[in-house]
A = this chain, B = another copy of it.
């Protein structure tokens, strides 16, 4: 992969250890981000760090999230502040023969940049549709359009990604060589985040079909795979 398809490595995103788990290429970092519905966002107000879970999505090298214009997070980020956005998938728990080698399999991305609130109203309208359609392809055209009060009450934050690092553990039990002969049960137990059966709104009008854009949201399907597919339907290469 050409060098320009990787994120630059600085003191912020350099891995201090476990270098074999590091991923800096955009393809891998993007897939981890685009498979996630919720990220955790670290930001600082008056020296106090906050870690807020929130829905988010990516366009090119920019991350977006939104919130109430009255929320602490949005007010704290309006001025252009450094943030760290982290998305994490837990894939397995790993039980080794020593406590030291107990682990989990995961895919995570930490992305760094400066966040600021989007003030342009046309761009806000584009983002309101974009967030819905990124998750549920085509849905913005099927729902009741946003009204002026909703646009005012909703703030979007944009963070161009300055640096990012992915981290992946996807192997099996990894014990010290001399421990494999010990009579200790050791195993990897997969973890999956899956969808259930859709529960229609109790006040749903009769005779409505599931929209075509929702066909990927099938019961028992992994959420990460569903979200990545939806992402690629909305943002084709």
Contacts and interface: CB of A to CB of B under 8 A. Distances in A.
Contact of A194 (B72, B142, B191, B217): B191
Nearest to A204: B186
A42 B47 contact: no
A129 B104 CA distance: 17
B47 A51 contact: no
B86 A53 contact: yes
Interface in A2-37: 12, 16-18, 37
Contact of A48 (B97, B99, B112, B186): B112
A110 B67 CA distance: 17
A79 interface: no
B187 A196 contact: no
* Interface of A (DSSP majority class): mixed
Contacts of A175: 201, 203
Interface in A22-75: 37-38, 40-44, 47-53, 55, 68, 70-72
Nearest to A153: B100
Interface in A72-120: 72, 82-86, 88, 90, 92-93, 95-100, 102, 104, 106, 108, 110, 112
Interface string A175-196: 1000111111111111111111
A83 B49 contact: yes
20 contacts: A41-B51, A44-B49, A51-B110, A52-B86, A53-B86, A90-B193, A97-B143, A98-B145, A99-B128, A100-B153, A100-B154, A102-B132, A144-B182, A172-B202, A182-B205, A185-B200, A185-B210, A186-B201, A188-B199, A190-B197
Q: What 7 A-B pairs are tightest by C-beta distance, nearest first?
A: A190-B196, A42-B51, A42-B42, A40-B40, A42-B49, A173-B201, A51-B86
